[in-house]
Amino acid sequence: MKAAFLYTDKAEHMGIENVPKPACGPGDVLVKVNACAICGTDGRIYEGTKDVTRGFTPQIRGYGEGGFIIGHEIVGIVEGIGSQVKNPEYKVEDKVVLVTSIGCQKEGCRACQRGNYNMCPNNRPIGYYYPGGFAEYILVQDQAVRQGVIIPVPEGPPVSDEHLSMVEPLSCVINGQNYLNIKQGEYATVAGAGPIGLMHGLLAKSKGAKVILAEYSKVRLAMAKEFGFDHYMGTKDTDLVEGVLDITGGQGTDVGIVACSVNKVAEDLLRAMAMKGRLSLFAGLPKQDSTLKLDGNIIHYKEVSIYGAFASNRPQFEEALKLITSGKVPMDRIVTHTFPLERIVPAMEKMLDKEGNALKVVIKA
């Protein structure tokens, strides 16, 4: 099979190799990859600003020992089921999506026992520890199978593989908004008009919120206007706090979602919160500068709640799958480009061009 391997010592950080197709062991499930979308984290790995090779020994088991295959926004077809896989909810030739986070599942792990596998201190995700979806096949190994990471796509009106590959990022958005309790008629301000920010806006809008989308890039802001949100703000020319207060009649926003890795945006959005507002620090901040200067009196006197969000688990995947297959959260404007596996390098470059016309880029295996 063909697979895109991560290189850390070459100018182009990925390359296609022909390697043996993985053999399905007794506890494994072999999946033929139909599509795998490129995540922003994949882009950082590709350009070398995030290192997944440190601290991980890739568990590739037979198809390219010692190399890394990334990609975790995966949809594919079940090709083989191991003889010891008990009572699977899927069968050969079923279309499936794959949950990314795989916990240690040990009895003493509080996170795993509560089903919070993404919080497991020994979390071993697909696309990092286990080989990912930028390949023609992926072997879902026994520990992941036991955890239940394989979710069959329900029968119904056809949904494209490109849109189904959006289940993983939408599941992360759902996980972030689970804390926020967005209500009909509330203001929800999303800072950042990348794919994740736009999904946050779409999900908040589906709950009846009045969505304010704030974005620094004029190119991204222009693209976002196709999504039909209630208010748009270009923060290159407009102060974020003043803009939110002006739109909300001086009351502030009920919900704030930081969907960009900019410290000042998080600090400013706190200043724009309404009474009993809920602020989500959804995006990670640069490791070399992750400290925020937050006004504690705003949190105290306005009773503002601040939440973090990281990755997702099966319940959020299932909800995301329902929202996409039902059309309640449309993905037609989110997915802008597709590339074959052989052209993964230009696909990565397209996704990383922040002033270009790409939102989500999908690799078709």
pLDDT digits (tens, 9 = 90+) for 172-217: 999 999 999 999 999 999 999 999 999 999 999 999 999 999 999 9
48 confidence band (pLDDT: 50, 70, 90)? confident
Q: What angle do CA 332, 334, 353 make, to 5 degrees?
A: 140
Question: What domains are defined for the chain?
Answer: 2-170+312-364 (3.90.180.10), 180-308 (3.40.50.720)
Note the pLDDT tens digit of each residue in 321-334.
999 999 999 999 99
The closest of 100, 73, 98 to 166, measured between CA atoms, is 73
Backbone angles phi, psi at 11, to 5 degrees: -65, -45
Report how far apart, in Å, the C-alpha atoms of 53 and of each of 9, 46, 170 are: 12, 12, 26
224, 227, 228, 229 alpha-carbon torsion, rounded to 10°: -60
Find out whether 117 and 147 touch, Cβ atoms under 8 Å: yes
Find out whether 99 and 313 touch, Cβ atoms under 8 Å: yes
| Type of residue found at 118 | N
- Decide if pLDDT at 103 tops 60: yes
The closest of 40, 4, 10 to 353, measured between CA atoms, is 40
Quick check: pTM over 0.85?
yes
Find out whether 81 and 145 touch, Cβ atoms under 8 Å: no
Residue 59's pLDDT is what?
54
- Decide if pLDDT at 52 tops 90: no
Residue 68's pLDDT is what?
85
Q: Kindly provide the b/e burial profile for residues 158-189, where b requires at least 16 CB atoms within 10 angstroms of the residue's own CB.
A: ebbbbbbbbbbbbbbbbbbbeebebeeebbbb
In the chain, the percentage of residues whose pLDDT exceeds 90 is 86
Element at 179 (helix H, strand E)? none
Q: For 276-280, what is the mean pLDDT?
A: 98
The mean of the pLDDT values for the chain is 94
Between 45 and 194, name the one with better pLDDT: 194
* CB-facing half-sphere around the CA of 151: CA atoms within 13 A: 25
